Amino acid sequence: MFYGAMKVSIGGSLKLAFRPWVEGLENIPAEGPAILASNHLSFSDSFFLPAVLDRKVTFIAKQEYFTSPGVKGKLTAAFFKGVGQLPVDRSGARGAGEAAVKSGLDVLARGELFGIYPEGTRSPDGRLYRGKPGGLARVALLSGAPVIPVAMIDTEKVQPPGKVLPKMVRPGIRIGEPLDFSRYHGMDGDRFILRSVTDEVMYKIMELSGQEYVDIYATAAKRQIADEAKRKAEEEKAAKAAGLEKADMGDKADKADQGGR
């Protein structure tokens, strides 16, 4: 009931304010389980997609959203539960993967829609990164549910990372045709099959989104970006220190020259 209320209030407000365009709504089944595998550009992705669908979508979210202390923390937890988010502890990679798989299978067993971001985290620069096979592919093969590729477009312009206030940009959502992986039934323990399934889904997302594809994980890209930013900061600090040292040496030379005269 709370999900319905949130969909009307927040979803209706989003549609009215941002007027998101949608293509491929006919690819969402009217009933029965299905996996919505989407690229991930912005925090707002988990709000725009449910806003344009008639059916409820359940995503997984990091546990911190549900365990923050204080009144704000409780309100945040209530909000995420109300909009259909499920908490997953990401402190251990293996444990987080198993929790995500179990959550997805539970949702699909109820005949509902399960939303997942194969990249595992938001894109740091708007490009599409390699999908992680442990969640999406395993859920697909264990459940037998169809995978529907989804492309979120320009949502990173609505709410860029680190920005609180949104910009009035019209985002888009492009929904592809369902992908059937029943041919791999019983092969969820084969890492090569899991990789193949994930890559096929990511390729479809790339076609739908028009994003440049980068064959590394987004988490690795974020580390590279952070390391590069740290390196530049250290270089700037060293250059500044060298400049100050040079200026200091120049001052001493001037004083020595004046003393000699």
Whether residues 37 and 116 fall in one domain: yes
In order along its 261 residues, the chain shows pLDDT tens digits of 666 666 666 677 888 889 999 999 999 999 999 999 999 998 888 889 988 999 999 988 777 767 777 776 676 667 677 666 777 765 555 656 787 898 899 999 999 999 999 998 899 999 999 999 888 999 999 999 999 999 999 999 987 766 767 788 899 999 999 999 999 999 999 999 999 999 999 999 999 999 999 999 999 998 988 888 888 888 888 888 877 766 666 666 666 666 655
Looking at residue 236, its pLDDT comes to 85
Whether residues 25 and 42 fall in one domain: yes
Whether residues 143 and 38 fall in one domain: yes
**Structure tokens, 167:** 């910009």
Whether residues 239 and 191 fall in one domain: no
Whether residues 192 and 234 fall in one domain: no
Place of tokens 């089944």: 29
Whether residues 205 and 238 fall in one domain: no
Looking at residue 252, its pLDDT comes to 62
> pTM above the 0.85 mark?
no
Whether residues 161 and 109 fall in one domain: yes
Looking at residue 106, its pLDDT comes to 93
Looking at residue 46, its pLDDT comes to 85
Whether residues 81 and 190 fall in one domain: yes
For 180, the domain range is 2-214
Whether residues 226 and 99 fall in one domain: no
Whether residues 240 and 152 fall in one domain: no
Whether residues 94 and 106 fall in one domain: yes
The count of structural domains within the chain is 2
Looking at residue 260, its pLDDT comes to 59
Whether residues 139 and 49 fall in one domain: yes
Last residue of a domain, one of 191, 214, 237: 214
